[in-house]
């Protein structure tokens, strides 16, 4: 039986929820606009990673640690490659469907499964170091600070494990909203803080060692008559830069919070379920309706808004050189000027779609298509 959460995700994927429960028949995705190309991309290498995202609405993203890049498919294939050449260093086939991943660091490659498994692999060999259980599905990558591995489950629990042994350190229970999007963002973990975004529109900071609450901030308040109208999930994860947390909610707001206290520094109405990017003192938001918007952190006002990709189910944005990179449902990677929002480049990655956030490391962009095509790109 299809659960309400799954049904809502399906609705989002088809673009029928964007305007709430009173929306009329939706228009098709906007046609790709024509523009004069200013930037060309060079394909450095490409690899096929199994079945890619699979049939469920997963958002598996690659991770880079040093000279290696790690990627996983929905059926449990994990691949380590040289990030500059694409040479395969090792492969590991897990016995569970992967639904949350990948993160890498401190000698570990971390993944989560639909069965509630948290799996730690040795980043040098791909061998399983430990496996632990959580009470619900894991739909975002577990994250480590070298001491603990922290995971947020679909039902908003936050669980920490010892990074070396996999033994549970602590668990923090939350009550999820009545109706939520099927997804969570990955925790943000520092030496002191574990910060998570919840389905209730709240951001919660916990002590990394003991799991005790440090502060809590309501970013979006549920509004409307129906439960659909009242969905304010924080699904796109959190971004941190220079002591500021950046967060976006569905049918709510995009905001900047002070990491130490949770105090709201600025906020603006927005609706996004994929997260934000930050650069040049601006925050870039992929809205649920397909609009890409640049917000000035100082004034919380919009600097520009690109509406030409309406209803194209945009991925989370990422800053790439002087541009904002974003994927869409037909697998195109769009490059948009940070200055004024104009199109400057476009490359098709995977005809099945490009749902995962682009990954940018040291002038290289890695795009992971829905059918498993992983491509490394640089600017010509």
CATH of the domain at 74: 2.40.128.630
**With pLDDT > 70 as the criterion, what percentage of the chain qualifies?**
93
- In this structure, the chain runs to a length of 380
Q: What is the pLDDT of residue 7?
A: 36
107 in any annotated domain:
yes
Q: Give the model confidence (pLDDT) of 9-27 as tens digits.
A: 434 443 434 444 444 577 8
338 in any annotated domain:
no
Q: What is the pLDDT of residue 87?
A: 98
d(CA 112, CA 96): 9
162 in any annotated domain:
yes
CA geometry: angle at 145 spanning 142 and 151, to 5°?
20
Q: What is the pLDDT of residue 104?
A: 97
Q: Give the model confidence (pLDDT) of 110-120 as tens digits.
A: 999 999 999 99
d(CA 168, CA 59): 26
Whole-angstrom CA distances from 23 to 16, 17, 18, 163, 228 are 8, 7, 8, 46, 11
Given pLDDT bands bounded at 50, 70 and 90, which one contains residue 184?
confident
134 in any annotated domain:
yes
- If you average pLDDT over every residue of the chain, what do you get? 90
Average pLDDT over residues 147-160: 94
Q: What is the pLDDT of residue 24?
A: 59
The domain in which residue 143 lies consists of: 47-173
316 in any annotated domain:
no
SS (H, E, C) 239-281: EEECCEEEEECCCEEEEEEECCCCCEEEEEEECCCCCEEEECC
In degrees and rounded to multiples of 5, residue 5 shows phi and psi of -65, -45
Q: Structurally, how many domains does the chain consist of?
A: 1
Specify whether the CB–CB gap between 72 and 60 falls below 8 A. yes
Q: Give the model confidence (pLDDT) of 201-232 as tens digits.
A: 899 999 999 999 999 999 988 787 788 877 87
HSE at residue 225, side-chain half, CA atoms within 13 A, is 2
Alpha helices by DSSP H, listed for the chain, are 4-14
d(CA 367, CA 359): 7
Work out whether strand 373-379 and strand 364-368 pair parallel, antiparallel, or are unpaired: antiparallel
141 in any annotated domain:
yes
- CA nearest 160: which of 200, 110, 215, 85? 110
Whole-angstrom CA distances from 334 to 5, 41, 287 are 30, 11, 15
Residue with tokens 């049904």: 7
Collapsing DSSP to helix, strand or coil, 122 comes out as: strand
Q: Give the model confidence (pLDDT) of 309-352 as tens digits.
A: 999 999 999 999 999 999 999 999 999 999 999 999 999 999 99
| Stretch among 19-23, 88-92, 253-257, 273-277 having the lowest mean pLDDT | 19-23
Average pLDDT over residues 48-52: 96
Q: What is the pLDDT of residue 188?
A: 94
């Amino acid at each position: 039986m299809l659960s309400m959460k799954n049904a809502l995700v399906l609705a989002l994927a088809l673009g029928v929820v964007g305007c709430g429960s009173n929306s009329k028949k939706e228009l098709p995705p906007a046609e790709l606009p024509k523009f004069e190309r200013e930037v060309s991309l060079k394909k450095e290498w490409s690899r096929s990673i199994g079945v890619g995202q699979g049939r469920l609405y997963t958002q598996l993203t690659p991770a880079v640690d040093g000279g290696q890049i790690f990627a996983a498919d929905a059926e449990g294939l994990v691949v380590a490659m040289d990030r500059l050449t694409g040479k395969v260093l090792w492969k590991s086939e897990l016995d569970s469907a992967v639904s949350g991943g990948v993160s890498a660091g401190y000698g570990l490659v971390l993944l989560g499964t639909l069965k509630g498994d948290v799996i730690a692999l040795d980043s040098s060999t791909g061998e399983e170091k430990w496996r632990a259980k959580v009470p619900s599905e894991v739909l975002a990558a577990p994250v480590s600070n070298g001491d603990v591995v922290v995971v947020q489950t679909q039902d908003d629990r936050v669980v920490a494990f010892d990074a070396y042994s996999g033994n549970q350190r602590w668990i923090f229970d939350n009550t999820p909203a009545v109706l939520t999007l099927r997804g969570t963002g990955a925790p943000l973990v520092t030496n002191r803080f574990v910060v998570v975004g919840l389905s209730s529109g709240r951001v919660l900071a916990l002590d990394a060692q003991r799991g005790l609450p440090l502060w809590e901030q309501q970013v979006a308040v549920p509004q409307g008559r129906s439960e659909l109208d009242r969905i304010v999930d924080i699904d796109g994860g959190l971004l941190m830069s220079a002591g500021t947390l950046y967060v976006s909610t569905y049918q709510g707001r995009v905001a900047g919070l002070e990491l130490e206290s949770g105090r709201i520094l600025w906020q603006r109405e927005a609706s996004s379920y994929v997260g934000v990017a930050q650069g040049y003192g601006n925050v870039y938001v992929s809205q649920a309706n397909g609009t890409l918007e640049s917000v000035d952190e100082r004034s919380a006002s919009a600097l520009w808004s690109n509406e030409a990709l309406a209803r194209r189910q945009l991925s989370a944005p990422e800053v790439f050189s002087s541009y904002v990179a974003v994927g869409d449902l037909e697998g195109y990677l769009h490059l948009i000027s940070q200055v004024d929002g104009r199109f400057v480049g476009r490359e098709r990655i995977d005809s099945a779609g490009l749902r995962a956030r682009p990954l940018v490391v040291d002038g290289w962009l890695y795009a992971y298509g829905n059918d498993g095509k992983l491509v490394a790109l640089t600017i010509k």
